[in-house]
Amino acid sequence: MHRLPILLKNFWGYESFRPNQREAMQCVMSGRDSLVVLPTGGGKSICYQAPAMALPGMAVVVSPLISLMKDQIDGLVGCGVPAASLNSSMAPEDRRATFSTMRSGRLKILYVAPERLLMDGFLDSLREHNISFFAIDEAHCISQWGHDFRPEYRRLAALKETFPDVAVHAYTATATPLVRDDIAKQLGLHKPEVIVGSFFRPNLIYSVERRHKRLEQIAEIANRYRGESGIVYCLTRRNVEELAIDLHNEGFSAAPYHAGLEDDVRHRNQDAFINDKVQIIVATVAFGMGIDKSNVRFVVHAGMPRSLEHYQQESGRAGRDGLDAECVLLYSGQDYHFWTRMLEELDPEPHKIAMRKLSAIYNFCQSAECRHAALLDYFGETLNVRPCNSCDVCLGRLEPVPESLVISQKILSSVVRQGDGFGPQHTALVLAGSKDKTVISAGHDGLSTYGLLNADPRESILDWIGQLTAQQYLERPNGSDALAVTSKGWLVLRGEVTPRLMRDVTHQPIPAGAPITKAPRKKDDAQWDGVDRDLFDMLKVLRRGMAESLELRAYLIFSDATLRDMARRRPSTKKSLLEVSGVGQYKAAQYGKDFLKLIRDYCAAHDLKMDLG
């Protein structure tokens, strides 16, 4: 273990461990099976990469996607770590080169897909090598209770059968307690150490908005991050293509990504986004796993995902560099119906699980509870920091509604008087006093609750109906859209309990044709304290040009966080460059000369001091 801090500094440029990394690495170094759950951006990969360098032999990492392997290997090689992969996309000569490096004993980390690992004879061929340990990346894929089950992962139990004396370590960013237990069982882990990090990522600013003017809402967010990277997730391929065109017409650099595109188009768009040539990637959930881009400043969901696991993982792709990033979820009741239809084809038991997950995220959208607290609670963790100061609720973007009891009684009373079979949309129309034909044909324009909330926007009424549902004063029996008053709801009607209703005070619907304005953006001033913004921008330009000439991802050279630290410290020598967070010996030797020259020239031109602490 005493070697690990030295390795972290020399190869990765880090001065210390992140939370839970030391404990995770201790399991690897001691040869004890482990299951490690750390949030996206929490530093899972280094938990096995650093020990692989410290231990004799070669570590084998099982990874589900070729793109994921490529990014990991490019990053490792860029730090000076001997790493390679074996996959179906490789040319024969590249595969032969990898086998040659394996036989020589120089290779420290080998990445393989589960299909390759379990090919006839491959596990037996690994017996010829000194295997230090096996690492299973994206381990949630092995569980049918998870959000991304992959049948080929089930066969990984063969690792323990073939190599009973070699430790197996499972890593994932997303796993409920049920999924964690299933991972350990399916892999046959022997008395594993289970390490679960906190899912609280305060650098992510979560907010949820009812979708009313999709393009305007998304453009407003993108406007706050001009020149910076963002991901917009859509539910369908058609939505992806339409929104990419609309954003392009609004003056944004945007490209589509979905599984229906030609391979070369999809890869070209992905590479353009990763290399900062395109600002926004508009995508289905087909985009994401294996994308290690650290400087994503915003993630917008243009529709509600099917589970909180999906949302936690997808939104977690923002702010991997530890700097502030914004995560906005736009939803409507239509999203719930979309997923309900999509899930109908599942078998009874998986359908039951999926519907439970769908209800959980729909309630998350409609609740007025701290977003971070709600997410943590779902994954079995309690948030001890209140307010979190990193979500719309805790930042004061929502405020209590005066006369919450009276408004709640009006809504619940209308649900009772309407009778069975009517959902939120219909209830909102009745309370708003709408002349919609569905209201008239049902005779609900004659109800005593008709028009009782006609002074409030229909979007607000829908929000309140959702909040009453999330607080279990209303329910949708058997997963239907129809509303019914619960036993708790009857307490409200009798005036014995007062619900907590909230309303958005910062984001009112934008009138059609109104100019898009830049809304206030939360910034942690400490992240920019002492940073020379102009120098930072010049360092980004240098990084982009260097990445293009080397055919590398820009963030694999240096992250935004590292460039900010450079622009803060303004190092003049290799020694002082090594004091910058994220600069190790290998990268200093590879890239340091050009970055130091730019910094020296800039400081000389502006008469600035260098080598600041």
Q: How far apart are CA 466 and CA 478, in angstroms?
A: 17
Which alpha helices (H) appear in 55-135, and where do they start and end? 66-79, 92-104, 114-117, 122-126
Which is higher by pLDDT, 141 or 280? 280
Query: Can you give the residue ranges of every domain in the chain?
Result: 4-196, 204-397, 401-504, 525-606
Identify the weakest region by mean pLDDT among 26-35, 244-253, 376-385. Answer: 376-385
User: What is the three-class DSSP state of 31?
Assistant: coil
Total residues belonging to the chain:
613
Q: How far apart are CA 186 and CA 157, in angstroms?
A: 6
- Tell me, what's the pLDDT at 516? 32
Average pLDDT over residues 413-421: 94
Average pLDDT over residues 71-100: 88
In 3D space, the residue among 373, 267, 279, 379 whose CA is nearest the CA of residue 40 turns out to be: 379
Q: Domain 4-196: what homologous superfamily?
A: P-loop containing nucleotide triphosphate hydrolases (3.40.50.300)
User: What is the three-class DSSP state of 181?
Assistant: helix
pLDDT digits (tens, 9 = 90+) for 372-386: 999 999 988 899 888
Q: How far apart are CA 295 and CA 323, in angstroms?
A: 8
Please check the confidence at residue 566 and state whether its pLDDT lies above 70: yes
- pTM of this prediction? 0.77
- Tell me, what's the pLDDT at 597? 96
Residue with tokens 């694999």: 556
> 110-141 burial, b if ≥16 CB within 10 A, otherwise e?
bbbbbeebbeeeebeebeeeebbbbbbbbbbb
Q: How far apart are CA 333 and CA 463, in angstroms?
A: 10
> 400-437 burial, b if ≥16 CB within 10 A, otherwise e?
ebeebeebbbbbbbbbeebeeebbbbbbbbbbbebeee
Residue type, 111: Y
CATH number assigned to the domain covering 525-606: 1.10.150.80
Is residue 191 within 8 A of residue 158, CB to CB? The reply is no
In 3D space, the residue among 484, 486, 514 whose CA is nearest the CA of residue 499 turns out to be: 486
Please check the confidence at residue 387 and state whether its pLDDT lies above 50: yes
Please check the confidence at residue 284 and state whether its pLDDT lies above 80: yes
Please check the confidence at residue 319 and state whether its pLDDT lies above 50: yes
Please check the confidence at residue 522 and state whether its pLDDT lies above 50: no
Q: How far apart are CA 522 and CA 205, in angstroms?
A: 8
Is residue 564 within 8 A of residue 294, CB to CB? The reply is no
Is residue 462 within 8 A of residue 428, CB to CB? The reply is yes
Q: How far apart are CA 70 and CA 274, in angstroms?
A: 13
> Fold match between 401-504 and 525-606?
no
Cβ neighbours around 556 below 10 Å, total:
22
Which is higher by pLDDT, 427 or 555? 427
- CA 552 from centroid of its chain's CA atoms: 23
Mention every residue, 6+ apart, whose C-beta is less than 8 A from residue 306.
Answer: 147, 339, 342, 343, 354, 357, 358, 361
* pLDDT grade for 129, boundaries at 50, 70 and 90: very high
User: By percentage, how much of the chain surpasses pLDDT 90?
Assistant: 59
In 3D space, the residue among 544, 608, 533 whose CA is nearest the CA of residue 571 turns out to be: 608
Q: What is the dihedral of CA 37, 141, 4, 53, to 10 degrees?
A: 180
CATH class of 204-397: alpha beta
Beta strands in 31-87 (DSSP E): 34-37, 58-62, 83-86
Q: How far apart are CA 99 and CA 85, in angstroms?
A: 10
CATH number assigned to the domain covering 401-504: 1.10.10.10
And the tokens for 31? Answer: 């040869």
Average pLDDT over residues 131-150: 85
* pLDDT grade for 134, boundaries at 50, 70 and 90: very high
- Tell me, what's the pLDDT at 288? 64
